[in-house]
Amino acid sequence: MGKAAQAQAGRDRARDARLKAARERRLRLDPDQVAREQRIDEASVDVEVAWEERAQAEEAITAAEVATAAAIERLVAEKLTVKDIVHLTGLDQATVRRLRQLGTDDDTGGDAGEDSGAPEAAGAQVA
C-alpha cells in the first residue's frame, strides 16, 4: 500500500509538471493572457481587501452607535426629553429614538434602576 501511494504521488507530480509546461506554452502563444491574468488577480485581491475594510468600517460604526446610545441614555437619565436631545446634539428624532432602542436591545435584563456610576453601567440603563 505504501508503494502504491508513492507511485500515485509520483504520477501526480508528473501530471502537475506537464500541466505547468502546457500552461507556459499556451501563455507564450498569447502574451496578452499573462497581463490579463495579472489584472484579474489584482482586481480579485482588491475586492477582498475592500470587503475586509468594509467589515472593519461596519464594526467601527457599531461601536460608535453603542457609545452614542450610552451618551443619549445619560442625557435621558438627566431628565432631558427626546426633543431636547435632538436640539442639543443635532441628531434627528428618528436617530435618537433608534439609538435609544439600541440601548434597550442591549440591556441584559439587569435592574435599570441601579447606577454603579461606571460608564459601562450607564450604557445599559433605560429610562
What is the secondary structure of 11-66 as a DSSP string?
HHHHHHHHHHHHHHHHHHH-HHHHHHHHHHHHHHHHHHHHHHHHHHHHHHHHHHHH
- For the stretch 36-91, pLDDT in tens is 989 999 999 999 999 999 999 999 999 999 999 999 999 999 999 999 999 999 99
Query: Distance between CA atoms of 101 and 81, rounded to whole angstroms?
Result: 15
pTM attached to this predicted model: 0.54
Residue 40: all three cell numbers together? 484579474
Contact 45, 55 (CB under 8 A): no
